[in-house]
Structure 1
Amino acid sequence: MPTLTPIEAVDAAIAEEMRRDSTVLMFGEGTATKRHALLEEFGARRIRNTPLAEGIIAGTAVGAAGCGLRPVIDLLFAPFLCYAMDELVNSAGKLRYLSGGQFSFPLVTLAMTGGGWGVGAQHNHNNEAWFVHSPGLKVVMPSTPADFKGLLKTAIRDDNPVLFFMDIGLLYQPGEVPDGEHLVPLGQAAVRRRGGDVTLISYGKTVHACAQAAETLAGEGVAAEVIDLRTLKPLDTVTIVDSVRKTGRLVVAHEANRLCGVGAEIAALVAEQAFAALRAPIARLGGPDAPAASSYPLEQACAPSAEAIAAAARRLMRA
């Protein structure tokens, strides 16, 4: 298998889908400037730069999707999604329902999120939970180059709007990616490590912190199961509940604000469906209710570390 970074995996997925389906096109902020190979192969009609106007970009994508095209748009940093909330949430997410299913709105919105570049609060905000809470939208946030490719190809083929969040801290970390037709279903979590003592659940770069914590815990005789959600909506509730019923303990961690985050939904799900199996209280780790710092050390200090995740698991084992 070839080794690619997530950025390369994304471009490979887009190229393959554009070759397969002539209705796929891509436009956004710096799209043609950054993706020279795609521009050269598919031309300026299908790979386009746009003004820095997120609402107009998203609105154009909704119109294109409603007319039978499959647009992929790049809005760069996730906080800029604020400028496109009406178009994505109030139009893309609702128009299929309002049409009684007569129309589909297949569009994918790419946005970079999370810490790792020290870009400051207005460019760093993990806001994925906003869109999980929005009816009609699907939300994806992968942790490996293979999933960047496989999930994006699936998202492009989906007849609903998909928010595809790319964790900045992962974008240039290489990994093996299957060549050719590699699809990963939306709504199917990945069990990255098997274990019977405690379940560690996350998504994005924090999955790797969970994996490191599990390795540390293994040296202490604790077998941690690591679950990578991959898709936040639809959420793989079966894999989550089955794992906690087996281990009886749950640590859920994410870089986004802990308050009303995806972890809160997972904790509620487990409390509702697997309460009798719990041997200890559910532990939630997340970022603070504060804007992200531009200082790299402070930025990293706000994200759940492998040490903090391992410490939470130890507390549950003692409980």
Structure 2
Amino acid sequence: MPSMSMIQALNNAMDLKMKDDPTVTAFGEDVGYFGGVFGVTKGLQEKYGSERVFDAPINEGAIVAMAMGMAVNGMRPVAEIQFADYVFPGFDQILSELSRIRYRSANQYTAPVTIRTPCGGGIYGGQTHSMSPEAFFTHIPGLVVMMPSNPYDAKGLLTSAIESDDPVIFFEPKRLYNGPFFGDPGQPSSSWSSHAKGDVPEDLYSVPIGKAETVRAGQELTVIAYGTMVHVALAAAEELGVDADILDLRTLIPYDVEAVTTSVQKTGRCMVLHEAPRTSGFGAELISQIQEDCFYSLEAPIVRVTGWDTPYPHAHEWSYFPGKSRVMKAMKTLMEAPQ
């Protein structure tokens, strides 16, 4: 089984799906000849031609509209928005058209569109290249929202996204693309993740939509995370020596309510962890659901560890991130809460 980075795994998923299904296309800003700003589509135009892998103008509204038009006419487009921060010029098309076409047409049309977009910080991209806007899209009925945390899931989830008859917003954390850092600034290189690459099967496979993964089994507390924050949670639990049950949601909508409920009822203590700002973040929805389903199992208040409620800082982005030290502090608070 070859070892792949997340970039390689995503590229491999598109390669295999394009080989398997002639209706699959890939396009977006710099996606064709250049292979994408992060190289995720590198080599695909050379292999499949410029009619199936091509560049789009800097017009996100047109990119989404074109993808929808292709989809209702029998194709399965994979459209790239170069950075998640750029998606908002196309937001009206996603909200008003793409998410609703199956319902407006009484199932006459489906919209098998996958919108890929890099999200989150870690590259000193500043306020216009570093957003984690997943909460906006989890509030739109009709969309599927995904965010993988490792190369294996990236390939399997992207395969499922392309095969889905419903539109998928597919977030790709930039810190996970090649060699992410999960500790705290100023720490030695041993804090760098060992998960930059992972074993990924060569053949086509899928990861089911709406199923969480238990990446670390434990009995003392539950940590619910997705994307980059899964690795931050793992690093904090290992250093602190906490017997934490860590769930990687993988799919945010629909998310695995059963897995979340089962874990929290088992441990009685829960932390929700995400990079996006705290207020109205997706963690608030998770906490509300846990409160409804697990109130009588809770032994302490649910804790949120998130990004700050501020415009994204450029020079101080590593202070903005929920790092290992902040997560460890929250874990201690949870464990010391009186029963």
- When normalised by structure 1's length, the TM-score is 0.97
Question: Which amino acid in structure 2 is aligned with residue 288 of structure 1?
Answer: W
- 1:251 matches 2:271: yes
Deviation at 1:36, TM superposition (A): 4.2
* Counterpart for residue 189 of structure 2: none
2:115 and 2:252 map into 1 onto residues whose CA distance is: 15
- Partner SS, residue 48 of structure 1: strand
- 1:206 matches 2:226: no
* Counterpart for residue 80 of structure 1: 86
Structure 1 residues 271-308: Cα deviation after superposition (integer angstroms, max 9, x where no partner): 0000000000000011111121221xx11111111221
Deviation at 1:181, TM superposition (A): 2.2
Q: Which residues of structure 2 form unaligned runs of 5+? A: 36-40, 179-195
Structure 1 residues 45-73: Cα deviation after superposition (integer angstroms, max 9, x where no partner): 10001111111111000110111100000
Q: Which runs of 4+ in 1 moved over 6 A?
A: none
2:19 and 2:97 map into 1 onto residues whose CA distance is: 28
- 1:304 matches 2:327: no
Deviation at 1:208, TM superposition (A): 0.2
2:249 and 2:49 map into 1 onto residues whose CA distance is: 36
Q: How does 1:181-260 map to 2 (within 5 A)?
A: 181-218=204-241, 222-260=242-280
Question: Which amino acid in structure 2 is aligned with residue 186 of structure 1?
Answer: I
- 1:271 matches 2:277: no
CA RMSD, 1 decimal? 0.9
* Counterpart for residue 38 of structure 2: none
- 1:39 matches 2:45: yes
Structure 1 residues 73-116: Cα deviation after superposition (integer angstroms, max 9, x where no partner): 01110011101011111111011111111111000001111111
Structure 1 residues 11-45: Cα deviation after superposition (integer angstroms, max 9, x where no partner): 10001001111110011011112134211211011
* Counterpart for residue 4 of structure 1: 4
Q: Which residues of structure 1 form unaligned runs of 5+? A: none
1:127 and 1:208 map into 2 onto residues whose CA distance is: 20
- 1:157 matches 2:199: no
Deviation at 1:232, TM superposition (A): 0.5
Question: Which amino acid in structure 2 is aligned with residue 285 of structure 1?
Answer: V
Quick one: percent identity of the two aligned structures?
Answer: 39
- When normalised by structure 2's length, the TM-score is 0.91
1:306 and 1:207 map into 2 onto residues whose CA distance is: 11
1:125 and 1:70 map into 2 onto residues whose CA distance is: 27
